[in-house]
Amino acid sequence: MKLEVLNISGGSTGRFVELPEDIFGITPNEHAVYLAVKQYQAAQRQGTHKTKEKWEVARTTKKFKRQKGTGGARAGSLKSPLFKGGGTVFGPRPRTYEIFLNKKVKRLARLSALSSKAANGSIKVVEDFTFDAPKTKKFVEVINSLGIQGKSLVVLPDYDNNVYLSARNIPGTGAVNVKDLNTYELLKTNTILFFESSLGKLN
């Protein structure tokens, strides 16, 4: 698949790039994509939830009513889960939600997401550019010139703090290094904007 390289004004540079078939032309594996997204979302959970159990509740252990003759069941402590203010039975404890996934499966998921976006015509290529300082207004002008609407993801060949900070404040728009691409970010965007030199670093 060939794509035209655009400049920051949305015009043609007269150059074309060939998208590698082994990256942008495979048959998407939906189950691998599902597993990768599940792993990513699970990793976002802090897992710091906690409730106090019977032994942790600060209440008296004094027997508050006699053993017999009350007409009710025996009870010896207000820490019991049966009473208001008592401990929680089998409540949540701090834990990790991390899911292990093989590198090959994660790579297959990324390739599936890229191939799906390429098939839908959701990928654009722009010649490399940078800013002298972070300027959100300039980045908005670039996005509008390229005709990008909705959520977009800019894929940089290397870390560029000025471009990253310029894109950060725009709702639905983000910038990421090509090394940090993940399946979840690829799927939730409408348009993926590759810098021309970032395509050569996908492998």
- For the segment 93-101, the average pLDDT, to the nearest whole number, is 95
In the predicted structure, residue 135 carries a pLDDT above the cut 90:
no
Residues 34, 128: one domain? yes
* pLDDT band (50, 70, 90) for residue 34: very high
Full domain range(s) for residue 58: 47-96
Residues 126, 72: one domain? no
Residues 70, 143: one domain? no
Using CA atoms, how far apart are residues 22 and 168, in angstroms rounded to an integer? 31
Q: What is the CATH number of the domain that holds 189?
A: 3.40.1370.10
Residues 174, 137: one domain? yes
In the predicted structure, residue 4 carries a pLDDT above the cut 90:
no
In sequence order, the β-bridge partners of residue 123 are 192
Question: Residue 194: which H helix or E strand, with range?
Answer: strand 191-195
In the predicted structure, residue 26 carries a pLDDT above the cut 80:
yes
Using CA atoms, how far apart are residues 99 and 72, in angstroms rounded to an integer? 48
Residues 36, 86: one domain? no
Residues 132, 69: one domain? no
Using CA atoms, how far apart are residues 54 and 43, in angstroms rounded to an integer? 30
* pLDDT band (50, 70, 90) for residue 168: confident
The per-residue pLDDT for 48 is 95
Residues 183, 142: one domain? yes
Look up tokens 């208001």; give the residue.
84
Q: How many domains does the chain have?
A: 2
- For the segment 102-109, the average pLDDT, to the nearest whole number, is 95
Q: Which of 4-13, 72-81, 93-102 has the highest mean pLDDT?
A: 93-102
Residues 121, 194: one domain? yes
What share of the chain has pLDDT > 90, as a percent? 56
Residues 102, 33: one domain? yes
H, E, C per residue of 140-184: HHHHHHCCCCCCEEEEECCCCHHHHHHHHCCCCEEEEEHHHCCHH
Residues 89, 181: one domain? no
The per-residue pLDDT for 119 is 92
Q: pTM value?
A: 0.81
Q: CB–CB of 107/120 below 8 Å?
A: no
User: Smallest Cα–Cα separation from 152: which of 177, 174, 126?
Assistant: 174
Q: What are the structure tokens assigned to 43, written together? A: 């990793």
